[in-house]
Every structure is written in C-alpha cells, then in structure tokens.
Amino acid sequence: MRVRALWLRAACLGRAGSGSGSVWFWFRCGFSSSALLPARKKVSEYSAVDSEHYSALVRNVVSSRTSAQTPETIEEEDGWLFGTVVKSRPSQEPRTLKNPCSLIDSSRVLHSEHEETEMTRIKLQRNTEQPSVPSVTRILQNTMSPSQLFYLERWKRRKIAELGEEGFREYSQNLFRQGKLFHAAIESFLTQKSSPKEEAETPDEVSGYLESIGHVLEDVTGVRAIESAVEHQTLRYLGIVDCVAMYKGSLCVIDWKTSERPKPSLHNTYDNPLQVAAYIGALNSDDNYNYQVENGLIVVAYKDGSPAHSHYMSEKQVLQYWEKWQFRLEEYMEKVIQHKTARTD
C-alpha cells in the first residue's frame, strides 16, 4: 500500500513539469492519493473510563429486568435531592353539634298529615319584654361562607357598574315589590282553589311568574298554612313559611322563589334548603300547629313564563339540611356572644 502511494506521487511529480495541464493533474493526483491513505482511528469518549470499577454496576443493570430500587430507597433519594417530604395533615374529626335537636317533636299529640285542618295564618309578633329572637333570614345572612360573600359582592358590584348606585337601589326595590306581588297572587289562587270565587286580576309584573308555576300549582292541594309565622320553642329562632300544603300526596313546607337565571338543581338554590329545613323544624316545635312536616319543596319561578323548577326535599334530605342549619345557628349564637363580650370589655 505504501509503495503504491509513493509511485503515484512520483508519477505526479513527473507530469507536473510538462504542459499547462500540470496543475489540474497535480490536483487530481493529490486528491486520489490522499483518499488511499489510511483514515485516523476515532478515539471513544468512554475509552478512559475504568471499566473494571463499574463492571459490577453494568452486570447488575444488564442481568436484572426489574429495578433494584425500592420505595424506601426512592424516598431516601428524594429526601436527599429535594428535602424531607412534608406529609399531608390528618383529616379533622367531624364536627358535632353542642345541643342537637330533633326535627320531629314526638312528645306532641298530633293530627295525621292527611287529616283535613283549617288553614292557618299567624302574623309575626315581636315580644318587646323579651330579648329579640333572630329570624332564619338574619341567621343565614350573618353566617355566610367567605365564598358566598365573595360571589354576592361581585354580583352587587356588577349590577352597580351596569345600573349605577341609584339604578341599583331602584332595581332592588322592584325585586322586593315583585316578590310581594308574586306571593300575594299565589295566596289568592290557592285560597280561591279551596273556596271557589271569581278569579282576581293578576298584575302584569307577576303574570309570567304565575304562568311559570302553573304546572306545579296543579299538584298542590290541602293548604294548611299561608304566610304564617313559626317559632322554635327550644332553639329560639323564628320565620314565616310561604305555604304548607300537600304536594303529590306528601305534606310539605313550600317555599316560592323567583330567579333571573335557571336553577335546575337543588344545589343551585344555595341556602334555600337550609331555610326550608329551619322552617320545618320550627313548625314542628310550635304549639300553634297540630301536625308535623317531614318534607319540603322549593319552587323557582321565571319571569318569562318558562316552566318553573320544583325541587322536592325528601325526609332524608331535610334531615341532612336540618343538621347543617343547626351548625349555622350555633355559629350565629357564638358570634352574638362574642359581640356582647367585646362591647362589655
């Protein structure tokens, strides 16, 4: 191989001295001869590694199909790389009521829920000689969660930005007036249903709401109470129930609501189930009523006349919300005590 390369070089030198094509020939000869020279052997980057030192590791990796690591070694390695693992705190123990109260007062002698009774309408009367008894509405408003307060405040700000301060006040007053007219129209319909009279005129403001609940009213019979005050004798709170009547064969406390947005599920009604449960508990404790109620119904009506959403609350659901209501009541009472203590200090 070396002899042939030398011969080619000599031949090139001989041609280099003759004629004008010597340069081109020299280039071709130089290129061809360099191609025949042996290429340099590449040096591997791993050639300097002490293979004997790592032979045990290589054998372990190659011969084993499963990882040599264990959960303990992985945790130890993570601790070395990222620090000690902070484990989650243990879940808190479920809360318990300090003074739980039963939803049903079994000590009272009562009429059957299917027995006909006269309709009750008890006006709310405040006793000036005794400390003020809080209402269900006040208790719920003063024990809202931070998230509830956030969304309520955000809604209020958006309405003020849209309508202005004066416009928002007028909007709130209109909602209150519509609510009163709506309840009055329902009362008129239900009382006429039990005692047929000439149908009264319905204000245009609430005609859509009445159309919305039309299919629900068809299943409401045996009205026991309308816009009637109830007070819990033991837990000391009060409220006014919209209606107590039979709905599809079950005696219910019925709460009529209006909404600008659809509320297709019970969850969408926020604290309304707590309100209904609170009314049921108060009614069952109140001596002015000679029957017990175990079920509830929330009816959400819409101004455009679209079918209302009716949310029936079974006895099991009422009991669940009754417990939640008692927690809210205890929270309110604790806040009242703290406020009184702060004032005396």
Residue 233 covered by a domain: yes
Q: What is the mean pLDDT of residues 320-343?
A: 91
Active-site option among 50, 180, 197, 255: 255
Active-site option among 105, 242, 271, 286: 242
Residue 225 covered by a domain: yes
Query: Got the DSSP string for 128-157?
Result: TTSPPPPBHHHHHHTT--HHHHHHHHHHHH
Count of structural domains, the chain: 1
Q: What pLDDT band is residue 35 in, cutting at 50, 70 and 90?
A: very low
pTM over 0.85: no
Active site residue 335: no
Q: How far apart are CA 121 and CA 137, in angstroms?
A: 19
Active site residue 271: no
Q: What pLDDT band is residue 88 in, cutting at 50, 70 and 90?
A: low
Per-residue pLDDT tens for 169-185?
999 999 999 999 999 99
Per-residue pLDDT tens for 115-134?
667 889 999 877 666 668 99
Structure tokens, 54: 């790592």
Active site residue 248: no
Per-residue pLDDT tens for 253-269?
999 999 999 999 999 99
Q: How far apart are CA 92 and CA 128, in angstroms?
A: 43
Residue 46 vs residue 188, higher pLDDT: 188
Domain extent, residue 314, equals: 136-144+206-344
Per-residue pLDDT tens for 37-76?
555 666 666 566 666 666 665 565 555 455 556 766 766 6
Residue 221 covered by a domain: yes
Residue 13 covered by a domain: no
Residue 48 vs residue 107, higher pLDDT: 107
Instruction: Please count the other Cβ atoms lying within 10 Å of the Cβ belonging to residue 197.
Output: 9
Residue 285 covered by a domain: yes
Q: Which of 217, 181, 216 is nearest to 201 (CA)?
A: 181
Residue 57 covered by a domain: no
Active-site option among 78, 123, 193, 257: 257
pLDDT of residue 105: 87
Residue 86 clears pLDDT 80, i.e. is over it: no
Residue 111 covered by a domain: no
Residue 200 covered by a domain: no
Per-residue pLDDT tens for 199-251?
557 788 899 999 999 999 999 999 999 999 999 999 999 999 999 999 999 99
Structure tokens, 329: 């009541």
Q: What is the average pLDDT score of the chain? A: 80
Q: What pLDDT band is residue 21 in, cutting at 50, 70 and 90?
A: very low
